[in-house]
C-alpha cells in the first residue's frame, strides 16, 4: 500500500476543488483492506468524486477505489446476474450491458462515478433507479473487519437514498454489487425527451443500445461537462411535499410542474423552484448556478468548496422563504 501525505484532491472531484487529503491511498487489491483497516485514521471512500463537495482539507485517510472486474455470476432464460467490482466506472458497466443487449440500466447511461456509489445514493435518471436492478450489495464492514452481503430489500433504498447514507454511513466500503439484467428488456422511453430523441435519431426498432444513445445525446446537450465547468450534477434533491401545500402553491403558481408520488404527496422539480427565485445563471466570483440548469451549481475556475456551500445555503433560504419548501442537498459534503 502506497500512502501519500498532504495529497491534492483537485483532480479527484468533479467540482475541481483544490484541497489536500491528510493521507491518500489507492485501493486496487481487495486483500489490502485488512492492512488499511489497521490504520487508526478516519477513513473516507472516494469513487469518481462526482457527488462530493470538499469544503475543507480532509482529515484522515482518503481511499481511492480502484477495485476492477465485471463477471457474470449466473443466468437463466430471462436474466443475467452480473457482479461488478465497485471501482468500475458506472458508464463502463452500462456499455458492457448494452453491448450484450442486456436491459435494465440503459436509461442510466453516462452518469459519472463508480458502480460502488450506485447503491449508496440509489442513482437514478429518466424514470429508472439503480435499485430496480440491484440484487445484492457486498461491503467491507470496518467495525468487524469482515465482508457482509445485503440483499436489495435490506438496503432501504429510497429516492437518492439508502442504508449506506444512514445506519451504515462511514461503516461500509461497498466492494461489489450484483445487478440482475434482463435478456428480454422492457423498455422505458416515456420519461423526459427520450421518445423525441429516438425519433430524431431515426430509430425504427427499439433496443437497449438505441435508448442508451438517446439518453447520452440528451445528457450531453443538457448537462455541463465537469471537465469544462466543475460541477457535481444536481446539487439538490427534488422535494416531496404534502398534497395540501401543493394545492396552495398551485393556486398562486398555476404553471408549477409536479409529479404525483401517491395520494398524499407530490414531487416538485427543485430546478423550477430555484429558477423562480431568480438564481438561474447567477454568478458570484468563481461560483454560480448554471445558465441552462438551475439545479447545477458550478465552479468557474478557482472556487472554494466553502463558497459553493455558502451559495447553496442562500438558495435554500430563498426557496424556503418564497415557497415554504426546505430543499435538501444531494451532494455529500466533506
- Are 17 and 83 spatial neighbours (Cβ–Cβ below 8 Å)? no
Q: How far is the CB of 325 from ligand FAD (least distance, A)?
A: 21
Q: Which is nearer to ligand FAD, 80 or 85 (CB)?
A: 85
Q: What is the grid cell recorded at 334?
A: 466533506
Residues in the chain: 334
Q: Which is nearer to ligand FAD, 17 or 249 (CB)?
A: 17
Q: Which is nearer to ligand FAD, 150 or 164 (CB)?
A: 164
Side-chain-facing half-sphere of 103: CA atoms under 13 Å: 15
- The C-alpha atoms of residue 79 and residue 71 are separated, in whole angstroms, by 14
- Residues with a known catalytic role: 160, 234, 330
- The C-alpha atoms of residue 194 and residue 106 are separated, in whole angstroms, by 11
Q: How far is the CB of 327 from ligand FAD (least distance, A)?
A: 16
Neighbouring C-beta atoms of residue 295, cutoff 10 Å: 26
Q: Is 224 helix (H, G, I), strand (E, B) or coil?
A: coil
Q: Which is nearer to ligand FAD, 163 or 232 (CB)?
A: 232
Rule CB under 6 A: which residues touch ligand FAD? 14, 44-52, 65, 86, 111-114, 116-118, 120-121, 123-125, 164, 172-174, 223, 226, 231-233, 332
User: Of 132, 137, 134, 122, nearest to 175 (Cα)?
Assistant: 137
Q: Which is nearer to ligand FAD, 25 or 246 (CB)?
A: 25
User: Of 64, 121, 114, 116, nearest to 89 (Cα)?
Assistant: 114
- Are 307 and 28 spatial neighbours (Cβ–Cβ below 8 Å)? no
Q: How far is the CB of 265 from ligand FAD (least distance, A)?
A: 20
Q: Please, what's the b/e burial string for 131-140 (b: 16 or more CB within 10 A of its CB; e: otherwise)?
A: bbbbbbbbbb
User: Of 196, 209, 21, nearest to 105 (Cα)?
Assistant: 209
Q: How far is the CB of 195 from ligand FAD (least distance, A)?
A: 18
Q: How far is the CB of 70 from ligand FAD (least distance, A)?
A: 15
Amino acid at each position: 500500500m502506497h500512502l501519500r501525505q498532504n495529497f491534492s484532491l483537485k483532480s479527484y472531484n468533479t467540482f475541481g476543488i483544490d484541497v489536500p487529503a491528510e493521507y491518500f491511498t489507492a485501493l486496487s487489491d481487495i486483500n489490502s483492506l485488512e492492512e488499511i483497516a489497521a490504520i487508526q485514521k478516519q477513513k473516507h471512500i472516494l469513487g469518481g468524486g462526482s457527488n462530493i463537495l470538499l469544503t475543507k482539507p480532509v482529515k484522515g485517510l482518503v481511499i481511492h477505489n480502484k477495485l476492477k472486474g465485471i463477471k457474470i455470476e449466473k443466468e437463466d432464460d430471462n436474466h443475467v446476474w452480473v457482479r461488478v467490482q465497485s471501482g468500475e466506472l458506472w458508464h463502463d458497466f452500462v456499455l458492457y450491458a448494452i453491448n450484450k443487449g442486456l436491459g435494465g440500466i440503459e436509461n442510466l447511461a453516462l452518469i459519472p462515478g463508480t458502480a460502488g456509489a450506485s447503491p449508496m445514493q440509489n442513482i437514478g435518471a429518466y424514470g429508472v433507479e439503480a435499485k430496480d436492478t440491484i440484487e445484492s450489495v457486498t461491503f467491507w464492514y470496518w467495525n468487524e473487519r469482515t465482508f457482509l452481503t445485503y440483499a436489495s430489500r435490506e438496503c432501504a433504498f429510497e429516492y437518492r437514498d439508502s442504508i449506506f447514507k444512514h445506519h451504515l454511513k462511514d461503516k461500509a466500503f461497498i466492494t461489489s454489487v450484483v445487478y440482475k439484467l434482463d435478456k428480454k428488456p422492457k423498455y422505458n422511453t416515456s420519461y423526459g425527451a427520450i421518445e423525441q430523441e429516438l425519433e430524431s435519431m431515426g430509430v425504427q426498432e427499439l433496443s437497449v443500445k438505441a435508448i442508451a444513445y438517446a439518453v447520452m445525446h440528451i445528457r450531453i446537450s443538457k448537462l455541463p461537462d465537469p471537465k469544462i465547468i466543475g460541477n457535481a450534477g444536481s446539487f439538490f434533491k427534488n422535494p416531496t411535499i404534502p398534497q395540501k401545500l401543493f394545492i396552495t402553491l398551485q393556486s398562486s403558481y398555476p404553471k408549477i410542474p409536479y409529479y404525483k408520488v401517491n395520494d398524499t404527496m407530490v414531487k416538485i422539480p427543485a430546478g423550477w423552484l430555484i429558477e423562480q427565485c431568480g438564481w438561474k445563471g447567477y454568478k458570484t466570483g468563481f461560483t454560480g448556478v448554471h445558465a441552462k440548469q438551475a439545479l447545477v451549481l458550478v465552479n468557474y475556475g478557482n472556487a472554494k468548496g466553502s463558497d459553493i456551500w455558502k451559495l447553496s445555503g442562500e438558495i435554500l433560504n430563498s426557496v424556503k422563504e418564497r415557497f415554504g419548501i426546505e430543499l435538501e442537498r444531494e451532494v455529500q459534503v466533506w
